[in-house]
Chains A and B, each alone.
Chain A
Amino acid sequence: MLNKDVSKWKLNKKAIFYISVLILLLIELFPIILVFLTSFKSQIDIFNANPFSAFMPTLDNYKEVLIDRTFLNNLKHSMIIALVTTTISVVFGVMASYSFARFNFKGDQKIGLAILASRMIPPITLSVPLFLLMRKVALLDTYFGLILAHVSFIMPYVIWMTLPFFQGIPKAYEEAALIDGCSRFGAFYKIFVPLVAPGLVVSATFSFLFSWNDFLYALILAGSELKTAPIVVSGFIGQFGPKWGSMTAAGSLILIPIFIFALILQKYIISGLAVGGID
Chain B
Amino acid sequence: MLFRKSIIFSLTLLMILGSMFLVFGSVSAQDKPYEGTKINVLVWRDAHTKAVKERVSEFEEMTGIDVVIDDLPTQSLTQKMAMNVTTETGKYDLVAVDEPYVPQFAEYFLDYKDWPAPKVMDGKIQLSEIPEGAVTAAAWNNSIKGLPINANAYIMIYRKDLVENKENQKAFKDEYGYELQAPDTLEQLNDMAEFFYNPDEMMYGYAPFTVKSEGATVEAMWLFKSFGVDILDQNLNVVLDVDKAVAALDYYKKILEFGPPSKLSMGHPETIQNVNAGNVFATLQWPAIIAGHENPKESRVAGKLGYPLNPEGPGGRAAITGVWSLTMPKVSENKQAAAEFAYWWGSYESGKELVEAGMSPIRKDLLTDPMLQKDHPWYKSVLANLDKAAVHRPRFPEYMKVSDKVQLYFAKVINNEMEPRKAMTEMKSEIENIIEEYKND
Contacts and interface: CB of A to CB of B under 8 A. Distances in A.
Interface of A: 43-44, 47, 72-73, 75-76, 79-80, 83, 131, 135, 138, 140-141, 197-198, 201, 219-220, 223-225, 231, 234-235, 237-242, 244, 257, 260-261, 264-265
Contact of A240 (B10, B13, B73, B91): B73
B269 interface: yes
B70 A261 contact: no
B73 A235 contact: yes
Interface in B116-163: none
B68 A235 contact: no
B18 interface: yes
Given A138-B89, A223-B91, A224-B70, A241 B292 contact: yes
B83 to A, nearest CB: 6
B272 A264 contact: no
Contacts of B83: 131, 135, 140, 220
Closest 4 CB pairs of A and B: A224-B70, A242-B269, A76-B21, A238-B73
B223 to A, nearest CB: 21
Contact of B10 (A141, A223, A261): A261
20 contacts: A43-B297, A47-B273, A72-B20, A79-B18, A131-B83, A135-B87, A219-B76, A223-B91, A224-B68, A225-B70, A235-B76, A239-B289, A241-B269, A242-B268, A242-B269, A260-B10, A260-B13, A264-B6, A264-B9, A265-B6
Contact of A238 (B21, B268, B270): B268
Given A131-B83, A239-B73, A265-B10, 12 more contacts: A43-B276, A44-B277, A47-B276, A220-B83, A224-B42, A224-B68, A224-B69, A225-B70, A235-B76, A239-B74, A240-B45, A242-B272
B47 A240 contact: yes
A130 to B, nearest CB: 11
B70 A241 contact: no
Nearest to A60: B297
Contacts of B87: 135
A72 B17 CA distance: 11
B25 to A, nearest CB: 10
Given A135-B89, A264-B6, A265-B6, A43 B73 contact: no
Contacts of B312: none
B297 A47 contact: no
Nearest to B289: A241
Nearest to B76: A219
A47 B277 contact: yes
B8 to A, nearest CB: 11
B79 interface: yes
B184 to A, nearest CB: 28
Interface string B254-284: 0000000000000011101100110000000
Contacts, number: 101
Of the listed residues A201, A224, A241, the one surrounded by the most CB atoms of chain B closer than 10 A to its CB is A241
B329 to A, nearest CB: 14
Nearest to B75: A238
Bin the interface of chain B by size: 35 or more
SS of A interface (majority): helix
A236 to B, nearest CB: 9
B269 A223 contact: no
A225 B13 CA distance: 25
B29 interface: no
A107 to B, nearest CB: 36
Contacts of A223: 70, 80, 91
A43 B18 contact: no
Contacts of B298: 43-44, 241
A131 B87 CA distance: 11
Interface string B65-96: 00011111110100110011001010100000
B7 interface: yes
A76 B270 CA distance: 32
A235 B79 CA distance: 14
A76 B70 contact: no
A269 B80 CA distance: 36
B22 interface: yes
Given A43-B298, A235-B73, A241 B272 contact: yes
Interface string B282-293: 000010110010
Contacts of A79: 17-18, 21
Contacts of B297: 43
Contacts of A260: 10, 13
Nearest to B88: A135
B198 interface: no
Contacts of B288: 239
A232 to B, nearest CB: 10
B46 interface: yes
A140 B88 CA distance: 13
B300 interface: yes
